[in-house]
Structure 1
Amino acid sequence: MTWLVALRAIVQREALRFLHQRERFLAALVRPLVWLLVFAAGFRAALGLSIIPPYQTYITYETYIVPGLCGMILLFNGMQSSLSLVYDREMGSMRLLLTAPLPRWWLLFSKLLAATAISILQVYTFLLISGLYGIDHPPWGYVLVLPALLVAGLMLGSLGLALSSFVQQLENFAGVMNFVIFPMFFLSSALYPLWKMAESSPLLRDICAVNPFTHAVELIRFALHGQLNLPALGWTLLATAAFTALALWGYDPARGMSRPKG
């Protein structure tokens, strides 16, 4: 019961913070909507798409990038949530959280789960808007994509958690985010398929293939069409375990990396 009380308290705190920062919700939607409504219209003529799994016929470019834009929301929100961890550490509230009489991994997992739940809510809002725009998916896909969004959100959130454990100042973390978010997003299958990347550079294609974000996007893409991509699931779970282990190591008080200054 104590563990559940702590989980509920952390989730409620994140929910209240989210409700009080409505611009954060709008910002999370503006980025993917700009790509969907503006950039996709220009890329549609330049990028020809062949029939690739899980699609059974030719699709528009807008349809192709929707899973990648869902991943974008999870990626940016995972980093934004970790940014709040750095802020909490500077303000001292993180010290109080981590000194609670509960396992450190449970406290961090509760924080991660709360942030992921908020990200999933934003993804479904984006899927609703894209549906109104005319980009439809199979009805059951909107239900089956939920586990994929949860796994992908935990993976990207744990990455942000790991990064926040090694950054002491808020200003430094904002810079680190740029060096992580943009390479992960653009060096992936979010905006163009891997076979298209191979046409320009096999090396670039290989880099995209080992990018954990690529596997998270493909997991979402297949789930939206009612299919399970086992390799993508396996690599995403493996990356989640690796990032979580790194975060726990970084937040180990014996190492002093997450100890607030002063």
Structure 2
Amino acid sequence: MSWLIALRAILHREALRFLGQRGRLVAALVRPLVWLFVFAAGFRAALGLSIIPPYQTYITYETYILPGLCGMICLFNGMQSSLSLVYDREMGSMRLLLTAPLPRWWLLLSKLAAGMLVSLLQVALFLGIAALWGLRAPAIGYLAVLPAAGLAGLMLGAMGLMLSSLIRQLENFAGVMNFVIFPMFFLSSALYPIWKMREANPALARLCEVNPFTHAVELIRFALYGQLNLPALGWTVLATALFSAAAVWGYDPARGVQNRRA
């Protein structure tokens, strides 16, 4: 019962924080909408797309990047969650949380679950706006994409937790944006197919293939059309487990990075 009480308290705290930061929701939606309505219009002619799974016909560029922008929402929300952890640690509230008489992995998992639910809400709102614009997926896809986006949110949130254990001060988060988030986003299949990247630069295409964010995007892409991409699912689950284990280790006062920097 105490475990469930802790989970509910963390979920409630994150919900209050999210609802109290309306600018955060606006920023989370404006970023992908700008890519969808502005950049996609400019790149449409330059990036013609052939028939590739899971699509059955030729598609517009806007249709292609829709799953990638869902992944973008999960990516930036995961980093936003890690930023809040750094802030909480500086303010002292993170120490109170981690000293609760509960397993640390459960507290971190509860934090991950809260961030994942926020990501799902943002993805649902974004897909709704895209549908009003005329970019619609099959009806079954809107149901199948929820667990896919949820798993992607867990993976990226776990990565954010891992990074937050390495960041000592809030000011260092700008470096994470420049050296982690942007390379992970651009070196993926979110904005262009990997086969196009392979034609331009095989080495960069290989980086795209090993990028865990690519597999999260492909999991969402296939789910939007009611299909399951087993390789993407396997790699996303594996990356989630590895990032989660690294985050738990990083926040372990006996072995983690935080203890060595204390």
Which secondary structure state, in structure 2, belongs to the residue aligned with residue 125 of structure 1? helix
The 3 A distance-change label for structure 1 pair 198 and 261 is closer
Give the equivalent residue in structure 2 for 1:230. Answer: 230
Which secondary structure state, in structure 1, belongs to the residue aligned with residue 165 of structure 2? helix
Which secondary structure state, in structure 2, belongs to the residue aligned with residue 46 of structure 1? coil
What is the letter of the counterpart of residue 254 of structure 1?
Answer: A
Give the equivalent residue in structure 1 for 2:34. Answer: 34
Give the equivalent residue in structure 1 for 2:51. Answer: 51
What is the letter of the counterpart of residue 76 of structure 1?
Answer: F
Give the equivalent residue in structure 2 for 1:115. Answer: 115
Identity of aligned residues (%): 77
Separation of aligned partners in 2, 1:231 and 1:255: 33
Work out whether 1:130 is the aligned partner of 2:112: no
What is the letter of the counterpart of residue 59 of structure 1?
Answer: I
Separation of aligned partners in 2, 1:230 and 1:130: 27
Separation of aligned partners in 1, 2:74 and 2:216: 10
Give the equivalent residue in structure 1 for 2:82. Answer: 82
* Residues 145, 220 of structure 2: 8 Å contact kept: yes
* Residues 11, 114 of structure 1: 8 Å contact kept: yes
Q: Could you tell which deviates more after superposition, 213-222 or 248-257? A: 248-257
Separation of aligned partners in 1, 2:152 and 2:237: 8
Separation of aligned partners in 2, 1:236 and 1:157: 12
Task: Give the total of aligned pairs.
Answer: 262
What are the superposed Cα offsets for residues 145-186 of structure 1, whole Å, 9 maximum, x if unpaired?
111011100000000000000111000123223211100000
**1:97-246 aligned within 5 A:** 97-246=97-246
Could you tell me which runs of 5 or more consecutive residues in structure 1 were left unpaired when the two chains were aligned.
none
The 3 A distance-change label for structure 1 pair 40 and 8 is same
* Residues 92, 260 of structure 1: 8 Å contact kept: no
Could you tell me which runs of 5 or more consecutive residues in structure 2 were left unpaired when the two chains were aligned.
none
* Residues 74, 153 of structure 1: 8 Å contact kept: yes
Separation of aligned partners in 2, 1:7 and 1:184: 30
Cα deviation for residue 260 of structure 1 reads: 11
Separation of aligned partners in 1, 2:24 and 2:260: 26
Cα deviation for residue 68 of structure 1 reads: 0.1
Give the equivalent residue in structure 1 for 2:12. Answer: 12
* Residues 249, 256 of structure 2: 8 Å contact kept: no
* Residues 168, 260 of structure 1: 8 Å contact kept: no
Which secondary structure state, in structure 1, belongs to the residue aligned with residue 45 of structure 2? helix
Give the equivalent residue in structure 2 for 1:94. Answer: 94
RMSD: 1.3
What is the letter of the counterpart of residue 64 of structure 1?
Answer: Y
Which secondary structure state, in structure 2, belongs to the residue aligned with residue 204 of structure 1? helix
* Residues 90, 261 of structure 1: 8 Å contact kept: no
Cα deviation for residue 204 of structure 1 reads: 1.0
